Structure 1
Amino acid sequence: MFTEAIEAILRDRATPEAVRVIESGGAPASIWDAVEEAGFLELLTPESAGGAGLPLSAIAPVFSAFGRYAVPVPLAQSIAARPLLRNTGVAAPAGMTTLAGACRRREDGLLEAPQVPFGMTCDYVLANVDGDLLLLDARRAERKASGVHGSLSGTLSWRRDAVPSPLGSNGDEVLLFSAAIHAAAIAGAMDRVFAMTLRYCNDRSQFGKSIGKFQAVQHQLSVMAQHVASAGIASELAFSGAGAVPERLATAIAKARTSMAVPLVASTAHALHGAIGVTAEYDLQLYTRRLHEWRMADGSEAFWNRMVGNAALKQAHATIVDFARIAPYDMAA
């Protein structure tokens, strides 16, 4: 129900044209205000606090929808801020809040958050600083753009007097939630990329028939479809736990698997589209650019595969299939 309602807003407000305007420096108010006014930022807020009280499993399709529409505002991150701030006594701030899973303290005293999603447009940053949870005012930060075309990510740094006291010791949860969000976004964007590619192959004719009828193209489409389906299943795994935030191992598997699929899916889509696929006017690049950016966000597949591998070596399971079937749901994993 919530997914359909949100998608109705996104179809109207998060059009490719609107995404391009925001990427070029336009105001994101049209998309942000519509979702905020509908109350959808409170999907994970308990009913006792006026929210919808949804479990994690119910929010996964919503986060995937944000990826499918290449939403250029931190809606998922702002939704996630509510459960991350639980038990802190601090309400989520009014304004666009994003997540910074890994911050560092520099020798000159600055607190730096590298490559923060939506770092160039956000109002607040909920950050993990050596395991502590901090709510930082982005308006007091120095912002440095990533330099990547169309990207809204940026590196933010704060002076000592702009860094507040920690709100809690659950800062590591920020990295997990952010990685799970990106896994879901990758799955959603891949779904859109595959749909665009399949439609193009069915519409584009060569030698008197659609190129989708050629066996070589069908092979590429089938491999692409397998990766897209696998990424979708993996992203759902990250949100399958019963807790307030995604579980560590399930998130690691989800982010690793979705990130691994990005190079093949993106390159195959562009190859099958041919010359039109690399043009700025064609919408494909809105999604493939994000796929590559989200692949690297919160650590690429190499970072998360190492975590999965270490867990597999430490746990006593008869086979790797048993590990994959049981370990992601083990709270102690």
Structure 2
Amino acid sequence: MINTQGMVAETATKIYTDLCARDVPHEAEAGQYPQALWDALTENGLPLAWVSEANGGFGADHDEVFGAIWASAQAASPVPFAETLIANWMLDRAGLSPADGSASFALSGHTPSADIPFGMHADKIVLFDEAHHEISLFDNRVAVRSPEESLSPDGMTQFIFSGHLAEQSAKTDLSRRGIEALILTVRAVQMAAAMESALGLSIDYVTQREQFGRPLSKFQAIQQQLAVAASECAAATMAATQAASAIARHSDDPEQAWHEAVVAKVQIGHSVEAVTVPFHQVHGAMGYTQEYDLHHYTRRLWAWRDALGNEHLWSKRLGEALAVTSPDDIWKGVTTGQWVAS
């Protein structure tokens, strides 16, 4: 479930409404970081929402935090809110103190480096080292940072872990699949929310814009394009909701939510092309301008679609997992959400 009515979500929504007006994402991309927005989020303790009370957070329910993440994506928020939530959740699960300031995350790979979302702004980087079952915290402010090519307005930098001494590290019982499940679900929620906002922009535009003496919304071709896009948005929201509900049910062992998270990743990944094309088409030339708001959503959608790998990679991984699962266990997983680890 994605609870947009709970206290955490409502607090986040109010902050984004007050401090993330449409000019903020534009200014952030021009180099003016919205520090007031980040300060308001931290003053209300929202980056610590998934941190246990014993560790200085307030252990909020997952569905409420997903509601806050939904609000951030709808506002095209240019601060690492979701990334800090994930990073602090990883630290908390390893019994480590939450990050002092903003944070982003990385999963260990075949090289001693990783592309970090919000790498130019995050104060800390949290690394999951699968080989040693460790979670470590690094100070990103002392690293040499250079921006990488990125579709997302949020930017990307490469962090070289070799040669950097971790500020703290600890063993963890989290599996890579468990962390993947949370990250993929967070991205799914963000993508579904961004789609809804972009759909709203498109409907508003075709309702107000006239051609040949009548609103664009009266043309059957436009109606057809937006009807198809709206159905894809609904499917994306349902997939994200199912994944978020699975994470909430299996909060102690998020690996059990891996299948639902991957299904959401694949479904929404396929939906991205199906919605971004008509959104830009119905806007015409306006949709391709830097000054208009649409690209703040569509560029993030393209970037989030590729985060941790695109839908084709995850379709293959899901197929490989199901191929070694018995038909009875597949049916049980589909009907009850209780998947047997493979």
Post-superposition offset of 1:140: 3.0
Equivalent of residue 65 in structure 1, options 55, 71, 75: 71
- 2:269/2:305 contact within 8 Å kept: yes
Aligned residue for 1:160, secondary structure, equals coil
Q: Which residue of 2 aligns with 1:306?
A: 316
Is the alpha carbon distance of 1:95 and 1:74 closer, same or farther for their aligned partners in structure 2, counting shifts above 3 Å? same
1:75 CA drift (Å): 0.9
SS at match of 2:145: strand
- Secondary structure of 1:113's aligned partner: strand
Superposed displacement of residue 261, structure 1:
1.0
Return the offset for 1:250. Answer: 1.6
Match of 2:82 in 1: 76
The equivalent of 2:3 in structure 1 is none
Deviation at 1:248, TM superposition (A): 1.5
1:284–1:161 CA distance, 2 compared to 1 (3 A): closer
- Matched residues in 1 for 2:208 and 2:290: separation? 20
**Residues 272, 324 of structure 1: alpha-carbon distance in 2 compared, 3 angstrom cutoff:** farther
1:196 to 187, 193, 201: 201
CA apart distance, 1:281: 0.8
Does the 8 A contact of 2:19 with 2:37 survive in 1?
yes
Counterpart residue type for residue 74 of structure 2? R
State the shift of 1:232 in Å. 0.9
1:278 match = 288
Query: What is aligned with 1:139?
Result: 141
| Match of residue 17 from structure 2 | 11
C-alpha deviation, 1:320, in angstroms: 7.8
1:238 CA drift (Å) = 2.2
TM-superposed deviation, 1:177: 2.5
Of all paired residues, the percent bearing the same amino acid is 28
Q: 2:220 aligns with which of 208, 215, 222?
A: 215
User: Secondary structure at the residue paired with 2:290?
Assistant: coil
Shift of 1:319: 11
Which residue identity does 1:223 align to in structure 2? Answer: V
Is 2:150–2:303's contact at 8 Å kept on the other side of the alignment?
no
Q: Is the 8 A contact 1:96 1:124 kept in 2?
A: yes
Distance 1:49 1:147, change over 3 A: closer
Residues 196, 233 of structure 2: 8 Å contact kept:
yes
Shift of 1:224: 0.3
Q: CA deviation digits over 1:266-307, x for unaligned, max 9?
A: 111000000111111111111111111111111110121122
Matched residue SS, 2:99: coil
Count of aligned pairs: 326
Structure 2 distance, partners of 1:95, 1:245, is 27
CA–CA distance in 2 between the matches of 1:261 and 1:60? 20
SS at match of 1:155: strand
Q: Distance in 1 between matches of 2:332 and 2:207?
A: 40
1:108 aligns with none
TM-superposed CA distance for 1:34, in Å, is 0.2
TM-score normalised by structure 2 residue count: 0.87
Structure 2 unaligned residues grouped into runs of 5+ = 1-5
Shift of 1:71: 1.2
Aligned partner of 1:330 in structure 2 is 339
Q: Once superposed, what is the RMSD of the aligned Cα atoms?
A: 2.4
Letter in structure 1 aligned against 2:158: T
Alpha-carbon distance between aligned partners in 1 of 2:327 and 2:89, rounded to the nearest angstrom: 32
CA contact (8 A) 1:100 1:175 kept: no
